[in-house]
Amino acid sequence: MGVRCVRCGASPVTQSIVDVIRGKCLDLSSLSVYELSSRGALVDWLTPRAGSLTTSEYIPEVALGSIRQGVRCEDVRRLTFADGAFDLCTSTEVFEHVDDDHAGFVQVRRVLRPGGMFIFTVPLSGATHTIERARVLDGQLTHLLEPEYHDDPFSRSKQILCMRNYGTDIVERLRNAGFSHAELTRPAFDMMHYARTVIVAER
C-alpha cells in the first residue's frame, strides 16, 4: 500500500481500477458516475473525465443525503439516489467494511441504469471462500476473528473495522444481489507485480 506513482501519487489499487475503467468505458465523458468516496487519486482522475461525477462518504452522525463541509453523506446500504441514476459506480477498498455487503450490492445495482457497471476493488485473499471476521446481529457487533482495522480519515478513531476477507466467491455474492454478470479482471499492465485484481459487475 505504500507504493505510489511519482507523478500523480496514485496507489497500485487506483492505477489498477483506472486501467480497467479505461478498458470498459471507452467514452467516459458521456457517463454519469458515482464514486463512493469524496477525495483521492481516483476522484482526481474521474473529475475532468466523467460526464458528471457524484461523490460521497459514510459519516455516521450526519443525515443521509445531506452535505457537511462540502461532502455528501451516504450509506451504501441505504442510498438516497433515485433508481437508475448512474451509468457507472466505482469504489476502492470499501465493501470489506460494510457489515451488510449484500444490502450494499443491492443498492448499487438499484442506482445503476440497465447495462450500467460497478467497477471496484476490495482486498482479495486469494482463497475461494470469503471469511467473515465480524458480524452485526440485532445491533450487536460480534467478532468472529481477531479484529482487523484499516485507516479511515473520516471516522473519529481514524480507523475502521474490516468485516471480512473476500475470496473469489465475491462474484457469486454480486450475482446473488441481482447483477447479471460479475467477473474478476486484471489490469492490462502488471505494474511491476503490484497490479491489483478489479471486480466488474454489470446490472
Q: Which residues contact 163 (CB under 8 A, 6 or more apart)?
A: 96, 97, 98, 99, 101, 132, 133, 134, 135
β pairing state of 181-185 and 198-202: antiparallel
Is the model's pLDDT at 29 over the cut of 70? yes
Mean pLDDT of 12-38: 95
Q: Sign of the CA dihedral 86, 92, 42, 190? A: negative
**How far apart are alpha carbons 104 and 178 in whole angstroms?**
12
- Prediction pTM value: 0.92
Q: What's the farthest any 2 CA atoms get from each other in the chain?
A: 47
pLDDT for the residue numbered 191 = 77
Residue 159: pLDDT band by 50, 70, 90 thresholds?
confident
157 or 20, which is more confident? 20
Q: How many CA atoms, within 13 angstroms, populate the side-chain half-sphere of residue 176?
A: 9
Chain segment 112-137, per-residue pLDDT in tens = 999 999 999 999 998 999 999 999 98
Is the model's pLDDT at 1 over the cut of 60? no
pLDDT for the residue numbered 151 = 77
CATH says 12-124+168-202 is which class?
alpha beta
**How far apart are alpha carbons 77 and 98 in whole angstroms?**
8
Least confident of 60-69, 101-110, 166-175, 189-198: 189-198
Range 164-174 burial, b when 16+ CB lie within 10 A, else e: bbbbbebbebb
Q: Do 182 and 171 contact (CB within 8 A), yes or no? A: yes
What distances in angstroms separate CA 158 from CA 132, 146, 149, 153, 155, one per listed residue? 22, 19, 10, 5, 5
Chain segment 160-188, per-residue pLDDT in tens = 899 999 999 999 999 999 999 999 999 98
